[in-house]
Amino acid sequence: MKFVFRTLALARYLTLRNQLKDLEKAITGLSLDQKRALAALTQKEFANAAAASVPHLYSSENPERYSPWGNGTAIALDRVKSDNLPLKLRGIALWLAVAYHETKDVPYSEMQDMHRAVMRTMRLLKESAGNVSPAEDAWLANRVA
C-alpha cells in the first residue's frame, strides 16, 4: 500500500511541476501593474483557501473530503490559459493557493520540493511586484515563514 501512495504522490508531483512551468510563463509575461494586482489577488485567494474547511480542496468540483487532492489546480490552469486578463490573474492566484495547501505537509521529498517551488514562485512574484503595502508585505512574510 505504501508503494501505491508513493506512486500517486510522484504522479501528482509531475502534474504540478508541468502546471507550474505554464504558470511561471504566464507570470513572466505580466506587466508591473498586473503583477501588483496578482499579488493582491493571491493574498485574497490564500485567505479564502485557509478559511475553507479543507484548504487543499478549495475550488474543487465535487470535493471528496478525504481525497489527497482535488481538481482545483486544473481549474485554475484552464483560467490561466484564458485571453481574459482578470480571469488569468485569478487563475494564477487560485493555482498558487491550492498548490500551496496541497503540498504543505506531504511527507514525500518530491512534494516537499514542489512546496518549495510554489513558495519560490510566490517570493519572486512579491519581489517583481515592487512596492507593496506593509500589510501585504507582512502577510507574504508570514506565508514564507
CB 39 within 8 A of CB 125: yes
- DSSP output for 58-118: TT-SS--TT-S--SHHHHHHHHHT-S-HHHHHHHHHHHHHHHHHHHTT--SHHHHHHHHHH
Residue 106: what residue type?
A: V
Contact 134, 92 (CB under 8 A): no
Q: What does the pLDDT look like over 71-128, one tens digit per residue?
A: 888 889 999 999 999 999 999 999 999 999 889 888 888 999 999 999 999 998 888 8
Q: pTM score, two decimals?
A: 0.83
Cell of 49: 483557501
pLDDT tier at 144, thresholds 50, 70, 90: very low
Residue labelled with grid coordinates 493574498 = 43
